[in-house]
Structure 1
Amino acid sequence: MVHFTDRVQAGRLLARQLLSLRDQDVVVLGIPRGGVPVAFAVASALDAPLDVIVVRKLGVPFQPEFAMGAIGEGGEELVDESIVALTGVTDAEVEAVEARERTELDARVARFRPGRDRIDLRGRTVVIVDDGVATGATAQVACDVARRLGAERVILAAPVIAASTLPNLTGADDIVYVDAPESFWAVGQFYSDFSATEDDDVTRLLEEADRRMAGESGRDALLGTDTDADLDIPLSDVTLRGHLHLPASPSAVVLFAHGSGSSRHSPRNQYVAEVLYRAGLGTLLFDLLTPAEELDRANVFDIEMLGRRLAAVTRWLTDRADASGFRVGYFGASTGAAAALWAAGEPDLEIGAVVSRGGRPDLAGDRLPQVTAPTLLIVGGADLTVLELNRDAQRLLRCETRLAVVPGATHLFQEPGTLGAAADLAAEWFARQLLS
């Protein structure tokens, strides 16, 4: 039975099953919310446009996770009468659930397509993607909606599909999956990280996909033989968990130093890593602390300890056969930016570039004048206190520096379009400093 790290990794594995569609007239549709990060990875691999196909499950009133049907855009509806009869749900209760879910469906369509038209599906191959298929009700309705909107061929794709559900998925011309286990009680059982995908995450991914199709996201990622794997990072005193993603012919890799309260599973860092990968850069996301160490909050703010650990991971990585000779960059967020700058000041390390997003470079203290790597400080325009701290830190840096302010962004870059802007700035900086 396959077990996925998170939706991003699941999407990459699923994309490999669909590469024959590359260069065809394909549209990828993600089922919000959880299906969109998976669909984003698929659309990136196929160099295809990405949109959402909004459907809502009709849950049994006394057990909402158990689907008795689904509804979709344009008035599509599917009710499983056998489940209705089995559970004893009345017609009035079905109508009440449908009315409530229809209101939420319409609201989501408005949130996910503000000022955007639905991508035209007429005469095209449509790949409908979800993070997993249990009963198949929402997937079936999604296929029906795509067909009604003119899709010539409908492919249903998901990392995992219940084996018992496969014969019932009659709405698709083809079904693609990584695994179809017999034992299946919930999609989340197949993921290490199945944290909720938020509306802002969906909007951000759609915006980034639009920029990619408009040619604004840098060169395409190479799709040949690459490295995309979870790994253990053995250091002298501890073993850390990480995820390494290298394009087919890499020459540079960016190590991510996450901030307090975050990890390698951070959706924001994963999003930025995907943008960097498509710009031709390898990425290594890893946990600076073990789960036991994270219990002591003092460790989260021990910049010297975090910096030494980042430096040790850098030495470990550059000693690997598949990473020897790479130019190395650091991407740090929040307190992770201080750790990145601390490590960049190590005299035996040759760090090619540093990017700080919403960072606290001031916490690197006396290390700042020792940094020689070109450093980009990205700060939200509405993050006033941190903006002043970055200006103060910039005056202490003796290397090439630039302060980029993203208008309207607060500390976490949660506002629509702001994280995409920061990711593009980081990709441009790393590409110029590491790939030129």
Structure 2
Amino acid sequence: MGRNRSPTFENRQAAGKRLGEALRERDIEVDMVLAIPRGGLPVGRPVADALGVPLDIAVAKKIGAPNNPEYAIGAVAADGSVWLNSDVINRREIPRDYVANTRAEMAEAARQKAQRYRDSESSLSLTGKRVCLVDDGVATGATARACIEQIRQADPERLVLAVPVASPRAISDLEALVDEVICLVVPSEFRAVGQYYEQFEQVSDEAAMSYLAAE
């Protein structure tokens, strides 16, 4: 894949429209779309609209490595559901106290974010529901794993993961955790999610929440 390769998607909304079309073409029926804030909401809105179902959120925060918070060694969801990359933690000899303290800090941050987005303390009832989890892409899969664990604990009837683009390794790992995966692009030389978007600006909380309010 060369440096001059054209982006696959114009922006997140355009990617969401294509993703929604793909889900409809495969006759995938769900009761609810859950998007991972912030970047997942501009994708999730057109997906939910295409399927004619409500849009809500699944929130998780990365657990970053010491001195390198952008490098995920795990992730934790708003309800405390966690995924840890034990191989990396052991290989780098990351202290257990650091992992435990950062996990608790990020779980609280995720809980507060979920409360702010929903403007409520109440949690979703997903028992027996068919759920579609959406994000703007998957690189390591850390946050997706934590969200999947949270959703699974709510005992849904079916869980589908739908993303515009993902790394081959991450999507392969995630396939084992859900009932079905819909991914439009799985590049063999994946480097970063933003590489596949013409426009991939940061999404503010205010902008992300506006997609929840949209009809």
TM-score by length of 1: 0.46
Which stretches of structure 1, 4 residues or longer, exceed 3 Å deviation after superposition? Answer: 20-25, 115-119
For residues 104 and 117 of structure 1, what CA distance do their matches in structure 2 show? 16
Match of 1:177 among 175, 183, 187: 183
For residues 155 and 125 of structure 1, what CA distance do their matches in structure 2 show? 8
Q: Is the 8 A contact 1:22 1:47 kept in 2?
A: no
User: The residue matched to 1:197 in structure 2 has which SS?
Assistant: coil
Bigger Rg, structure 1 or 2:
1
Aligned residue pairs, count: 209
State the Cα deviation string for residues 295-331 of structure 1 (Å, max 9, x = none): xxxxxxxxxxxxxxxxxxxxxxxxxxxxxxxxxxxxx
Which residue of structure 2 aligns with residue 197 of structure 1? 203
User: The residue matched to 1:156 in structure 2 has which SS?
Assistant: strand
Question: Which residue type is aligned with residue 195 of structure 1?
Answer: E
Check 1:128–1:23 CA distance in 2 against 1; reply closer, same or farther (3 A cut): closer
Which residue of structure 2 aligns with residue 113 of structure 1? 118
Shift of 1:166: 2.3
- The higher relative CO (CA closer than 8 Å, separation ≥ 6) is in 2
User: The residue matched to 2:79 in structure 1 has which SS?
Assistant: helix
For residues 193 and 162 of structure 2, what CA distance do their matches in structure 1 show? 14
For residues 91 and 13 of structure 2, what CA distance do their matches in structure 1 show? 37
For residues 122 and 188 of structure 1, what CA distance do their matches in structure 2 show? 34
Shift of 1:153: 0.5
Greater displacement, 180-189 / 170-179: 180-189
Which residue of structure 2 aligns with residue 67 of structure 1? 72
For residues 81 and 122 of structure 2, what CA distance do their matches in structure 1 show? 19
Question: Which residue type is aligned with residue 187 of structure 1?
Answer: V
Question: Which residue type is aligned with residue 185 of structure 1?
Answer: R
Match of 2:109 among 100, 104, 109: 104
Match of 2:161 among 156, 160, 176: 156
Give the RMSD, CA atoms, in angstroms: 1.9
Q: Is the 8 A contact 1:22 1:46 kept in 2?
A: no
State the Cα deviation string for residues 51-92 of structure 1 (Å, max 9, x = none): 001111111122222211111132201111111123332112
Q: Is the 8 A contact 2:138 2:171 kept in 1?
A: no
Which residue of structure 1 aligns with residue 49 of structure 2? 44
Q: Is the 8 A contact 1:10 1:38 kept in 2?
A: yes
Shift of 1:101: 1.1
Q: Is the 8 A contact 1:17 1:177 kept in 2?
A: no
For residues 27 and 122 of structure 2, what CA distance do their matches in structure 1 show? 24
Shift of 1:115: 3.6
Q: Is the 8 A contact 1:132 1:161 kept in 2?
A: yes
Q: Is the 8 A contact 2:82 2:149 kept in 1?
A: no
Q: Is the 8 A contact 1:51 1:118 kept in 2?
A: no
User: The residue matched to 1:56 in structure 2 has which SS?
Assistant: strand
For residues 112 and 85 of structure 1, what CA distance do their matches in structure 2 show? 35
Match of 1:5 among 2, 6, 10: 10
The gaps in structure 2 that reach 5 residues or longer are: 2-6
User: The residue matched to 1:17 in structure 2 has which SS?
Assistant: helix
Shift of 1:25: 4.4
The gaps in structure 1 that reach 5 residues or longer are: 213-436
Shift of 1:96: 2.6
For residues 132 and 96 of structure 1, what CA distance do their matches in structure 2 show? 28
Check 1:23–1:70 CA distance in 2 against 1; reply closer, same or farther (3 A cut): closer
Q: Is the 8 A contact 1:55 1:142 kept in 2?
A: yes
Question: Which residue type is aligned with residue 203 of structure 1?
Answer: M
Q: Is the 8 A contact 1:38 1:130 kept in 2?
A: yes
Question: Which residue type is aligned with residue 155 of structure 1?
Answer: V
User: The residue matched to 1:68 in structure 2 has which SS?
Assistant: strand
Q: Is the 8 A contact 2:161 2:181 kept in 1?
A: yes
Shift of 1:180: 0.5
Q: Is the 8 A contact 2:115 2:121 kept in 1?
A: no
User: The residue matched to 1:165 in structure 2 has which SS?
Assistant: helix
State the Cα deviation string for residues 191-226 of structure 1 (Å, max 9, x = none): 121111111112211111xxx3xxxxxxxxxxxxxx
Which residue of structure 1 aligns with residue 173 of structure 2? 168
Q: Is the 8 A contact 1:61 1:97 kept in 2?
A: no
Question: Which residue type is aligned with residue 92 of structure 2?
Answer: T
